[in-house]
Amino acid sequence: MSSYSNSNPATDAVAVTPSDSTELQFRALYVGGTGDLVVTTGAGNDVTFQSVPAGLIIPVQGTKVKAATTATKIVALK
């Protein structure tokens, strides 16, 4: 999976429902509603991005958006 950047934009996007079991492959995440974003990175680490503001794109590769996430309106960029 290649990294997301302005010169290497995503080719697909999908709405995300946070889940501890749903596997995704994403290059970045768009957060539409403020809150904490808990993800499993491509390296397998669980990381919490605290107090993510609405409208931000988080350029992190990963496989899950965890159920502990409180941010809303999340879109996975692939």
Question: pLDDT (tens digit, 9 = 90+) per residue, 8-48?
Answer: 888 999 999 999 999 999 999 999 999 999 999 999 999 99
Determine, yes or no, domain membership for 7: no
Total domains present in the chain: 1
Rounded to whole angstroms, the Cα distance separating 55 from 19 reads 21
Determine, yes or no, domain membership for 52: yes
Token pair, residue 54, equals: 């609405």
Determine, yes or no, domain membership for 3: no
**What is the domain range of residue 17?**
13-77
User: Please, which residues have CB within 8 angstroms of residue 21's CB and are 6 or more apart in sequence?
Assistant: none
Determine, yes or no, domain membership for 42: yes
Q: What is the largest CA-CA distance in the chain?
A: 32
Token pair, residue 75, equals: 């879109």
The reported pTM is 0.91
Determine, yes or no, domain membership for 5: no
In the sheet that holds 13-15, the strands lie side by side as: 13-15, 72-77, 28-33, 56-58
Instruction: Average the pLDDT over 51-63 and give the result.
Output: 97
Determine, yes or no, domain membership for 54: yes
Q: Is the pLDDT of residue 3 over 80?
A: no
Token pair, residue 2, equals: 């290649």
Instruction: Look at residue 2 in the predicted model and tell me its pLDDT.
Output: 65
Instruction: Average the pLDDT over 54-70 and give the result.
Output: 97
Determine, yes or no, domain membership for 1: no
